[in-house]
Amino acid sequence: MNLYIRTADLLSGNVMVISDKNKETVFIASRDKENPFLIQLFNRLNEKVAEIKLKNSFLKIFSIEVNGQEVATINTIPMVEVKYVHIGILNWNIMGNIPMSNYHVKSKHEIVMEVCPMILSLGQPGIQLIINNIDDLECGTLIAIFLNKYIKLPGKPLDDSLSGLHGHRGLSYLNFKNK
């Protein structure tokens, strides 16, 4: 099944709509304002079907629960050059360019889910989730939202508008040469 999420919802929104190829809402994800690591997933009937939350703040272990039962865990995620993440309990391995949302999830050499960036209708950027097994919809959707929101892009260029980061910003080479 193919699911789609707008990038604008992922970056700044507390409510994210996950739709199918017919633009029908499949899930609604909400992020708690006071606890940003709590992401809840609701179905069309506004029933909570899954959530991801911080299980152990010291070790940075996150728990994914579907219908009240823990089905997966994510251990501490490194923030530099992320190319591989292991999902515990389910024994899933995520490989690819995770910061750019272009990766695949494998379980025992079989692809469970693929995530790739794409342009949605009306020219809006978003991500596409291709989930092979319908039983993995909730868990796969939460993992994609979590990785997209909390993985930082390594090597991101600094904003030139910030002062003091570039020591000799206003001085040119010619000014030194002529003196």
Residue 30's CATH number: 2.40.160.200
In a domain, 175, yes or no: no
Q: How many domains does the chain have?
A: 1
What is the rounded distance in angstroms from the CA atom of residue 170 to the CA atom of residue 54?
Answer: 45
Domain with 110 in it: 2-157
Bridging pattern class, strands 15-19 and 25-31? antiparallel
Task: State the DSSP H helix or E strand holding residue 12, giving kind and residue range, or none if neither.
Answer: helix 7-12
Q: Is the predicted pLDDT of residue 158 greater than 50, yes or no?
A: no
Lowest mean pLDDT among 26-35, 111-120, 166-175: 166-175
What is the distance between the alpha carbons of residues 159 and 176, in angstroms, rounded to a whole number?
26
Q: 32-86, pLDDT tens digit by residue? A: 888 888 999 999 999 999 999 989 888 888 899 999 999 999 886 554 456 778 8
pTM assigned to the model: 0.78
Task: Please check the confidence at residue 116 and state whether its pLDDT lies above 90.
Answer: yes
Asked if residue 70 is part of any domain, the answer here is yes
Residues 6+ apart with CB under 8 A from 21: 2, 4
Indicate whether 178 belongs to any domain.
no
| pLDDT band, residue 6 (cuts 50/70/90) | confident
Assigned domain for 170 exists? no
Convert the pLDDT of each residue in 136-148 to its tens digit.
999 999 999 888 8
Q: Which residue would you say has higher pLDDT here, 108 or 170?
A: 108
**Is residue 173 a part of any domain in this protein?**
no
| Residue 66, in any domain of the structure | yes
Q: How far is CA 25 from CA 5, 16, 39, 46, 179, in A?
A: 10, 10, 17, 11, 67
| Cβ 28 vs Cβ 39: under 8 Å | no
Does residue 168 lie within any of the structural domains?
A: no
Query: What is the full DSSP assignment across 163-177?
Result: TTSSTTTT--HHHHH
Let me know if residue 171 belongs to a domain. no
The CA distance from 34 to 54, in Å, is 13
Helix intervals (H) in 84-171:
137-150
